[in-house]
Amino acid sequence: MTASYVVSRSARRTFRTVSGSLVVALVALGIGITLQGNADAAVPAPIGPSGSWTSTFSDDFNGTALDTTKWRPNRSGGNNVDGPFNPSSEGATFAPANVTVADGNLVFTIKAAPTRVGGKAYPLTSGTVSSDGRYALRDGEYVEARILIPQGDGLWPAFWAMTPNSWPPEIDGFEFFNTASQSAPRFNYHPIGGGQSGPKAYGAPGVDYRGGWHTYGWLRKSGVLTPFVDGVAYPQAGASGVDNGVYFIVLNLSVYQGHSPTAGAGATQMKIDWVRAWKPGAPPVLAPPVVTPTVVTPPPTPITPVAPAHLVSVVGSSAAQSPDRVSGMTLTKPAATKPGDVLIVALTVDHTPTVALPAGWKALAPAQRLGSGATVLSYYRISAAGDPASWTWPLSSTEKWGGGMTAFTGVDQILPLGTTPTAATDTTYTAKSVSAPSLTTTFTNELLITGYGSDSRLPAPPAGFTGQWASTSGQVSMLAVAQPPGTGATGKQTWTVSTALAIGTWMVTLRSA
């Protein structure tokens, strides 16, 4: 990839509108600007962060035309053909005719249509939409969209946000700089004072995000931006020191100058299944107004608040195992678990069966195959009122297994994971140790958690870690925790065993509330 492809959606913001100033004025007066029922109580929960959320914006594109109460079909409004966001790098204008809604999707189509805008000729036209003047994202909110990215020469798709009346700042939820060669999204933040945090690649290793449907999103909370893809957070690609202003949402398909995407087979179309946004907290329960008398009370005596420790701590654990072949793995919820606690499960199952997840559980680290002998698994969920006393992970074949569950309290319920998990295996049957690769923590009071799996031999946990439980028959599994001394690199953490065998490990941190 040449350096020209690492040009963000850049400093050359050339168009501002009167409606943007109106948005700022309304927000300053405390007047909401979500119009004509954008929030919908029936909107599903986010695929990304867990916890309670209330919908603030939703469009599933189920009609036959763009809903202009939610979107502009170009940069300036009306039916204008507008110039690109970055005239020095982009080779296509934006035309409302290239923005269509069909088959439940919003579609941007690139067409060969020479156009002259701002004294400059462009060989192609494409599509963009924005929520400018219709809807604004606020600090603490999460936005998500399900998108199909095309693959073609010079294609530059983006899902991003900017403020109504000035640039910078800018949030680039994702950009693909030339999808002919780049297969993973890039995240970036342009702060008010200039500069940028990236662009930084994110996503699952080895996954090509072009040509298939994926869900992208980002959370802006208390000065921190975190990107998501397919429900997984990638905080290492995010940014800190972020402003708390209002932003409008932008989606577009651009083309680099001097490139000509190949027509046909959807190569010139970007499709969006839906766009949704939420604010934290459960939806309100409406009740009739109650009139109460005014009571005058003396002013309270000032009290100096005491900052909470906000330490993540262990509530309790449970473990189970089966030396006989069974069709499912059942674990009991630890005693004293309460709603909002985070549950982490580590399992080792014989051979390589397919494992089904119980409702509400998410994979933590990728499944680790120890050759054909065993598979190491890890999952997490946020405990909720009405949870069952136990959960079962069904297996595609009857197998022996061992595992356990630990409950943690004091965890951030919106972004419980402080880092993307790391993992390692050694399947040579010559190793007596395995090390979880180092993590980099960015938040104080994160708790380190590491798991281990093999088909025999109980290990010794890494130095400084405390084991919480162990399964010793069926298959061997163990979980241990430690409090890191501060932020930064944790260093690799090594499990040891007395006999050489195939072994696997993973490590993650929990973020404090």
Residue 426, pLDDT > 90, answer yes
* Chain length of the chain: 513
Let me know if residue 458 belongs to a domain: yes
22-31, 421-430, 441-450: which is most confident: 421-430
Digit-coded pLDDT (tens) for 176-222: 999 999 999 999 999 999 999 999 999 999 999 998 999 999 999 99
177: domain CATH number is 2.60.120.200
Q: How confident is the model at residue 10 (pLDDT cuts 50, 70, 90)?
A: very low
pLDDT at 443 (0 to 100): 73
Q: What is the mean pLDDT of residues 222-230?
A: 96
Same-domain pairing of 157 and 201:
yes
Same-domain pairing of 384 and 501:
yes
Let me know if residue 294 belongs to a domain: no
What is the residue whose two structure tokens read 């869900």?
215
Same-domain pairing of 232 and 328:
no
Same-domain pairing of 403 and 489:
yes
Q: How confident is the model at residue 284 (pLDDT cuts 50, 70, 90)?
A: low
Q: How confident is the model at residue 301 (pLDDT cuts 50, 70, 90)?
A: very low
Residue 73, preceding bond cis, omega within 30 degrees? no
pLDDT at 332 (0 to 100): 97
Digit-coded pLDDT (tens) for 53-111: 999 999 999 999 999 999 999 987 778 899 999 998 999 999 999 999 999 999 999 99
Q: What is the mean pLDDT of residues 159-163?
A: 96
Q: What is the mean pLDDT of residues 28-53?
A: 64
Mean pLDDT of the chain: 85
Q: What is the mean pLDDT of residues 278-296?
A: 59
Let me know if residue 304 belongs to a domain: no
Q: How confident is the model at residue 286 (pLDDT cuts 50, 70, 90)?
A: very low
Let me know if residue 346 belongs to a domain: yes
Number of H helices, E strands in the chain: 1, 33
What tokens does 345 get? 């499960």
Q: How far is the C-alpha of 48 from the C-alpha of 69, rounded, in Å?
A: 26
Q: What is the mean pLDDT of residues 428-440?
A: 93
Inter-residue contact 399 to 412 (CB < 8 Å): no
- Three-state secondary structure call for residue 225: strand
Q: How far is the C-alpha of 218 from the C-alpha of 363, rounded, in Å?
A: 19
- Other CB atoms within a 10 A radius of the CB of residue 500 amount to 14
Q: How far is the C-alpha of 93 from the C-alpha of 183, rounded, in Å?
A: 24
Amino acid at 271: K
Residue 169, preceding bond cis, omega within 30 degrees? yes
Element (H, E) at 409: strand 390-409
239 contact partners, CB below 8 Å, separation of at least 6:
187, 188, 189, 191, 197, 198, 224, 225
Same-domain pairing of 138 and 272:
yes
Q: How far is the C-alpha of 501 from the C-alpha of 306, rounded, in Å?
A: 51
| Cα end-to-end span (Å), the chain | 40
Residue 165, pLDDT > 80, answer no
Q: Is 310 left (phi over 0), alpha (psi -120 to 50) or beta?
A: left
Q: How far is the C-alpha of 507 from the C-alpha of 330, rounded, in Å?
A: 23
Residue after which a domain boundary falls, among 236, 262, 280? 280
pLDDT at 164 (0 to 100): 82
pLDDT at 96 (0 to 100): 95
Q: What is the mean pLDDT of residues 20-46?
A: 49
What tokens does 503 get? 């072994």
pTM: 0.60
Beginning with the edge strand found earlier in the chain, give each strand of the sheet holding 422-426 in spatial order.
Answer: 422-426, 503-510, 447-454, 476-482, 466-471
Same-domain pairing of 274 and 163:
yes
Same-domain pairing of 246 and 361:
no
Q: How confident is the model at residue 309 (pLDDT cuts 50, 70, 90)?
A: very low
Range of the domain at 494: 313-510
Let me know if residue 285 belongs to a domain: no
Q: How confident is the model at residue 267 (pLDDT cuts 50, 70, 90)?
A: low
Rounded to the nearest 10 degrees, how much is the dihedral formed by the CA atoms of 490, 233, 367, 464? 20
Let me know if residue 298 belongs to a domain: no
Q: How far is the C-alpha of 107 from the C-alpha of 99, rounded, in Å?
A: 6
Element (H, E) at 390: strand 390-409
Q: How far is the C-alpha of 322 from the C-alpha of 473, rounded, in Å?
A: 7
Q: How confident is the model at residue 45 (pLDDT cuts 50, 70, 90)?
A: very high
Percent residues over pLDDT 70 in the chain: 85
Q: How confident is the model at residue 159 (pLDDT cuts 50, 70, 90)?
A: very high
Q: What is the mean pLDDT of residues 323-329?
A: 94
Digit-coded pLDDT (tens) for 118-135: 889 999 999 999 998 899
Same-domain pairing of 116 and 261:
yes
Residue after which a domain boundary falls, among 233, 261, 280? 280
Residue after which a domain boundary falls, among 280, 297, 324? 280
Residue 289, pLDDT > 60, answer no
pLDDT at 260 (0 to 100): 83
pLDDT at 445 (0 to 100): 82
Lowest mean pLDDT among 22-36, 81-95, 445-459: 22-36
What tokens does 197 get? 């945090």
Let me know if residue 293 belongs to a domain: no
Same-domain pairing of 60 and 166:
yes
Same-domain pairing of 93 and 237:
yes
Let me know if residue 267 belongs to a domain: yes
Inter-residue contact 106 to 211 (CB < 8 Å): no
Phi, psi of 336 (to 5 degrees): 75, 5
Same-domain pairing of 132 and 29:
yes
Same-domain pairing of 363 and 238:
no
Q: How confident is the model at residue 8 (pLDDT cuts 50, 70, 90)?
A: very low
Q: How confident is the model at residue 472 (pLDDT cuts 50, 70, 90)?
A: confident
Query: Domains in the chain: how many in total?
Result: 2
Q: Are strands 120-126 and 111-117 parallel, antiparallel or unpaired?
A: antiparallel
- At residue 242's C-alpha, the angle toward residues 90 and 68, to 5°, is 55
Q: How far is the C-alpha of 357 from the C-alpha of 63, rounded, in Å?
A: 34
pLDDT at 292 (0 to 100): 46
